[in-house]
Amino acid sequence: MRAIGLVRGENSVQTFDLPKPEITQPDEVLVRIKEVGLDGTDYNVVRYGPDMAPDKNRMVMGHEAVGIVEDIGGDVKSLVPGDIVSITVRRGCGICHPCLHNQSDMCMTGLFKERGIHKLDGFLSEYAVDQEQYMVKVPREMKHLAVLTEPVSIAEKGIDQIRIIQSRFPWTCPHPEHDFKSPDWGNCKTGLVVGAGPLGLLAASLLRLAQVNIMVADIVPDSHPKAGLVNYLGAKYVDTSDKSPRELMEYCEVHGGSVDILFEASGAASTALQLISYMARSSIYIMTGIPRDELNLNIDAGQVIRHMVKNNEVVVGSVNSNRSHFEKALLQMTRINLEFPELCQKILTDRVKFNDFQEAFTPKGPKFIKTVIEVDPWD
């Protein structure tokens, strides 16, 4: 079968032939891959080099996949050939309590592996085999958007963390039904999403579904499609190309109110760190971006710590997701598609055929948001 990835010692993405994977265990599932989405993680794998297993000389790329079940092992109960599936990314260490209880995204040892990212082949190939527990069934009517399941699951996990952590205190608005444990938890709250890329837009859509008053910040002009999609969500776009972190937070205070929720989805290390100094009292800040380059910043550490402690602020790193987040993501994507029917398709700006894969890794045009590689296009 054909695959796309990287070879040790070489710095260009290429195709290579591999044996078609076979089911060797009774709980395994063979999937014919249909589409694979690319994100910043994939581009960083190319830029900085793949994190291959020591005994491997090449790694298949891609971790955002949707495909069709072609065959199943004898013990598989929840899937049959023809089912559409999204596949989770992280494989647990098999040692720590979270990994042993289906929460490998919270691995305590750091000995996890990740498809297409860390020590394991990804899904940019014609076929893939994995265990049933990592396969999440996709409703047939969602197949054309299911390639977004993984990024939606990342946003869903981050929002899960917000609700869990902020439920430590009663909400202070006049409506007791707006506390973080209630279905209407987003009312009377203001959020700022930093970064209007795919993850930021999807996070903003989930927060809007929860009725959070949302602003989204990025450095593109108001005329960019990203800004248009922010407005489409009923959120407010903020061009920060001429604003410092302090000016951004002051702008939000004036135009949206005190920011209760910060969701960082840009990977811009300097901005991400400086925003801590301007968080509102009792607010929460979710960081999902992972900067790769070294950055030295002159910052008043004492002021940052004083600000956090005196104001009961929380800063949380949120990485990866688990099966439960994939399942929630698919439910939420149905809601997104009903409430914002144009969003997902407009995020998927670039579709590239498998044979034209090099186009997916070349510089993008000014209207670019996200690329999908069509391994085996839908009928």
Q: What is the pLDDT of residues 347-377, one digit of tens each?
A: 999 999 999 999 999 988 889 999 999 999 9
Average pLDDT over residues 82-95: 99
Sign of CA dihedral 360, 361, 366, 370: positive
**Percent of the chain having pLDDT more than 90?**
92
Helix/strand/coil (H/E/C) assignment for every residue in the chain: CEEEEEECCCCCCEEEECCCCCCCCCCEEEEEEEEEEECHHHHHHHHHCCECCCCCCEEECCCEEEEEEEEECCCCCCCCCCCEEEECCEECCCCCHHHHCCCHHHCCCCCCEEECCEEECCCCECEEEEEHHHEEECCHHHCCCHHHHHHHHHHHHHHHHHHHHHCCCCCCCCCHHHCCCCCCCCCCCEEEEECCCHHHHHHHHHHHHCCCEEEEEECCCCCCHHHHHHHHCCCEEEECCCCCHHHHHHHHHHHCCCCCEEEECCCCHHHHHHHHHHCCCCCEEEECCCCCCCCCCCCCHHHHHHHHHHCCCEEEECCCCCHHHHHHHHHHHHHHHHHCCCHHHHHCCEEEEHHHHHHHHCCCCCCCCCEEEECCCCC
Quote the pLDDT of residue 11: 82
Angle at which helices 149-166 and 323-339 cross, to 10°:
100
- Contact criterion met (CB below 8 Å) for 209 and 187: no
Quote the pLDDT of residue 181: 84
- 49-79 pLDDT, tens digit each: 999 999 999 999 999 999 999 999 999 999 9
Quote the pLDDT of residue 183: 80
pLDDT > 80? residue 93: yes
Q: How confident is the model at residue 234 (pLDDT cuts 50, 70, 90)?
A: very high
Quote the pLDDT of residue 174: 86
Quote the pLDDT of residue 177: 84
- 151-193 pLDDT, tens digit each: 999 999 999 999 999 998 887 788 888 888 888 899 999 999 9
Residue intervals of the chain classified under CATH 3.90.180.10 are: 2-137+349-374
Average the pLDDT over each of 108-117, 165-174, 209-218, 250-259 and give the range with the smallest value: 165-174
pLDDT > 80? residue 328: yes
**Percent of the chain having pLDDT more than 70?**
100
Quote the pLDDT of residue 216: 99
- 25-42 pLDDT, tens digit each: 999 999 999 999 999 999
Residue intervals of the chain classified under CATH 3.40.50.720 are: 152-317
CATH class of 2-137+349-374: alpha beta
Average pLDDT, rounded, for the chain: 96
- 245-260 pLDDT, tens digit each: 999 999 999 999 999 9
Quote the pLDDT of residue 340: 98
Quote the pLDDT of residue 149: 99
- Contact criterion met (CB below 8 Å) for 18 and 3: yes
Sign of CA dihedral 99, 103, 109, 111: positive
CATH topology of domain 152-317: Rossmann fold (3.40.50)
Average pLDDT over residues 297-320: 96
pLDDT > 80? residue 319: yes
Q: How confident is the model at residue 294 (pLDDT cuts 50, 70, 90)?
A: confident
Quote the pLDDT of residue 190: 97
* Distance separating alpha carbons of residues 164 and 313, to the nearest angstrom: 14
Helix/strand/coil (H/E/C) assignment for every residue in 265-318: CCCCHHHHHHHHHHCCCCCEEEECCCCCCCCCCCCCHHHHHHHHHHCCCEEEEC
**pTM > 0.75:** yes
Quote the pLDDT of residue 28: 99
Pairing type for strands 314-317 and 236-239 reads unpaired
Average pLDDT over residues 192-209: 98
